[in-house]
Amino acid sequence: MSKIQEVKAKVEIGKTKLIPGLVQEALDEGNAPGEILQAMVESMSVVGEKFSSGEIFVPEMLIAAKAMSKGVDVLRPLMAGDTSASLGTCIIGTVAGDLHDIGKNLVSMMIESAGFTMVDLGVDVPAERFVEAVKENENVTLVACSGLLTTTMPALKEAVQTIKASGLDVKVIVGGAPVTPEYAAEIGADGFAPDAGSAAVKAKELVA
Amino acid sequence: MLTKRQNLMETIKGGNPDRFVNQYEFMNLIMEAPLGEMAGPGQIIKNGWGITFSWPADQLGGFPVHDEEHKVLKDITDWKNQVKAPAVATSDEAWAAAVAHANAVDRNEEFVTAFVAPGVFEMTHHLMSMEDALMALYEEPEDMHDLIDYLVDYELAYAKELISRIHPDCIFHHDDWGSQRSSFVSPEMFEEFFLPAYKKIYGFYKENGVELIVHHSDSYGVNLVPFMIEMGIDIWQGVMTTNNVPELIEKYGQQMTFMGAIDSGVVDFPGWTPEIVAEYTEKACKECGKLYFIPNLTQGLNFSSFPGVYEETTKVIDRLSKEMF
């Protein structure tokens, strides 16, 4: 197995302690940083699919994302200024009145693993704050809004509609326990995902 | 007419109930027991474990605060220095109100029920955040086993005092094990870490006179049901419709009863109407049937987030009992 294949396999099973060494060995073999990064992105895509299908659970996904992030730490100094692999910046947050962050954090991790730079606004984010964050950050291509409560669905709607009304050229993806594809479409979101694995797939689709 | 207690037993044993068990009616909850501090609406508190909880006034519940300043357990490998269990209250004074309440209950009619929360899994993530707790199960399994043993020892110390004071007939124990679509951990991981913990806890209660273990997890959990049965749960409260409750009753009803099937999220919201409550309650009762099933909002106590929803649900169940029994 080539080193790059080994990196891919070990990210998938979350070998956090082995990854930095393996990434270094893959570089030493002459693989380009971008290729190694792409291999890890592909691993995380497999992880996302397995999570969506119920084959793996949250700890397995977290540990794989952590392994990838350890690998990215090794590659980062070598890729400074290279944006070719980036899918842009994604602003993420849980909408106003809602303090749930676990699902949002998982989605953030998976979208980051797909190749986005993440800006996490946290929880209880007012609609206007999403718009400000799009303006404040460079190359924002996507905004991800999360809402876990039936009672905060109006806030989700307001967030999406405020972002859309701003005229900014970004796609909006939504998710959270009470959100359905129908509701997402009704409030004007560009995309919906039922879980963190699907969110990464949808995010890539939306900015392609 | 059967008493509430008799009717419950007929329902969970597959006998001849004369009506639906109506939500929490069989539990007389002794909420005065000194379980530890809990945040109320608008409060920020630090409990005996040092965990800070914040419940903003406009929210439906409280949350543990997990920024670097407030997280109790920052490094799982150092948990022995960072986690200190509070003392279990053992004074007559601390237990007086609970004892008085328990003594006033007609045990032929209702179960004297002790409320216990949070559970072992919840404690791990309250101490260190969900992400850290779940990753620690992979990265530092030995320390997690040790920490869980420590949490179990605390629960057992509390259980011992609780039993000697109020002699509960029923334990209503919270520990949320999943989201609405999935369990948080795999069945294998659950079996390794949490099944042994709960076999000890629920086994201890049963060995000491507790007749009924009711476990709350308002989540998906089909993949954990065999373990729930093995650890001694009699009733799973909070079972959401994502579990396909009729199928679960068919498969496991003779071993465990299912309480819920009316998802709080779809009926308990500011714009609720009696028609919405009736629709979902009727669907639950008609699909799930009369045995091994207790119609109930999935919420983990005997009230709703929005005034009137719990009472309306009770009314609909009463009507359905008259129509269906």
- A13, A74: one domain: yes
Tell me the pLDDT band of A93, cut-offs 50, 70 and 90: very high
Ranges of each domain in chain B: 4-324
Domain boundary among A46, A78, A110: A78
How far B315 CA lies from chain A's nearest CA (Å)? 23
Does residue A120 belong to any structural domain of this protein? yes
Q: Which residues on A lie below 8 Å from B131 (Cβ)? A: 62, 102, 105
φ/ψ of B52, rounded to 5, equals: -90, 130
Q: Work out the percent of chain A whose per-residue pLDDT is above 90.
A: 81
Query: Residue B143 in contact with residue B132, Cβ under 8 Å?
Result: no
Q: What is the CATH number of the domain that holds A27?
A: 1.10.1240.10
pLDDT under 70: residue ranges of chain B: none
The answer to whether A126 contacts chain B (CB < 8 Å) is: no
Q: How far apart are CA B25 and CA B302, in angstroms?
A: 9
- A116, A182: one domain: yes
pLDDT at A81: 67
pLDDT at B59: 81
Which of B185, B266, B268 is opposite residue A59, by nearest beta carbon? B185
Domain boundary among A57, A78, A99: A78
Does residue A118 belong to any structural domain of this protein? yes
Query: Residue B23 in contact with residue B295, Cβ under 8 Å?
Result: yes
- A202, A160: one domain: yes
Q: Parallel, antiparallel, or unpaired for β B52-55 and B43-46? A: antiparallel
Q: What is the CATH number of the domain that holds A98?
A: 3.40.50.280
- A70, A12: one domain: yes
Does residue A159 belong to any structural domain of this protein? yes
Query: Cβ A57–B183 below 8 Å, yes or no?
Result: yes
Fold of B4-324: TIM Barrel (3.20.20)
pLDDT at B6: 98
Residue B86: CB atoms within 10 Å: 13
**C-alpha A175, offset from chain centre:** 13
β-sheet bridge partners, residue A120: A92
- A73, A8: one domain: yes
| Inter-chain CB pairs, A–B, below 8 Å | 56
The answer to whether A79 contacts chain B (CB < 8 Å) is: no
Does residue A83 belong to any structural domain of this protein? no
> What is the torsion angle, in degrees rounded to the nearest 10, for the CA atoms of residue B237, residue B238, residue B241 and residue B244?
-30
Does residue A182 belong to any structural domain of this protein? yes
The structure tokens 């009137």 sit at B308
- A99, A60: one domain: no
Across A60-71, average pLDDT = 93
- A43, A110: one domain: no
pLDDT at B131: 92
Does residue A84 belong to any structural domain of this protein? no
Does residue A38 belong to any structural domain of this protein? yes
Residue B263: CB atoms within 10 Å: 23
The answer to whether A62 contacts chain B (CB < 8 Å) is: yes
Q: How far apart are CA B111 and CA B170, in angstroms?
A: 6
Tokens of A26: 């893959």
Which of B58, B137, B183 is opposite residue A97, by nearest beta carbon? B58
Residue A130 has pLDDT above 90, yes or no: yes
pLDDT at B56: 84
pLDDT at A84: 67
pLDDT at B58: 78
β-sheet bridge partners, residue B178: B183
pLDDT at B204: 98
pLDDT at B5: 98
Q: Is A143 exposed, middle or buried (0-12, 13-18, 19+ CB in 10 A)?
A: buried
Which of A57, A97, A150 is opposite residue B182, by nearest beta carbon? A57
Q: Taking CA atoms, what residue in A is nearest to B129?
A: A102
Tokens of B13: 């044993």
Within 2-31 of A, beta carbons closer than 8 Å to B belong to: 14, 16
pLDDT at B228: 98
Residue A83 has pLDDT above 70, yes or no: no
- A125, A171: one domain: yes
pLDDT at B26: 98
Residue B154: CB atoms within 10 Å: 19
Tell me the pLDDT band of A150, cut-offs 50, 70 and 90: confident
3-state secondary structure string, chain B? Answer: CCCHHHHHHHHHHCCCCCCCCCCCCCEEEECCCCCCCCCCCCEEEECCCCCEEEECCCCCCCEECCCCCCCCCCCHHHHHHHCCCCCCCCCHHHHHHHHHHHHCCCCCCCEEEEEECCCHHHHHHHHHCHHHHHHHHHHCHHHHHHHHHHHHHHHHHHHHHHHHHHCCCEEEEECCCECCCCECCCHHHHHHHHHHHHHHHHHHHHHCCCCEEEEECCCCCHHHHHHHHHHCCCEEEEECHHHCHHHHHHHHCCCCEEEEEECHHHHCCCCCCHHHHHHHHHHHHHHHCCCCEEEEECCCCCCCCCCCHHHHHHHHHHHHHHHHC
| Cβ-count burial B89-122 (b if 16+ within 10 Å, e if not) | beeeeebeebbebbeebeeeebbbbbbbbbbbbb
- A66, A119: one domain: no
- A103, A154: one domain: yes
Q: How far apart are CA A90 and CA A118, in angstroms?
A: 5
CA distances from A206 to A111, A130, A141, A190, B56 (A): 12, 18, 9, 8, 35
Residue A149's domain spans which residues?
89-207
Across A26-49, average pLDDT = 93
- A200, A143: one domain: yes
Q: Please tell me the pTM assigned to this model.
A: 0.92
Q: How far apart are CA A180 and CA A175, in angstroms?
A: 8
Query: Residue B238 in contact with residue B218, Cβ under 8 Å?
Result: yes
- A72, A148: one domain: no
The structure tokens 């396909």 sit at B244
Residue A101 has pLDDT above 90, yes or no: no
How far A151 CA lies from chain B's nearest CA (Å)? 6
The count of structural domains within chain A is: 2
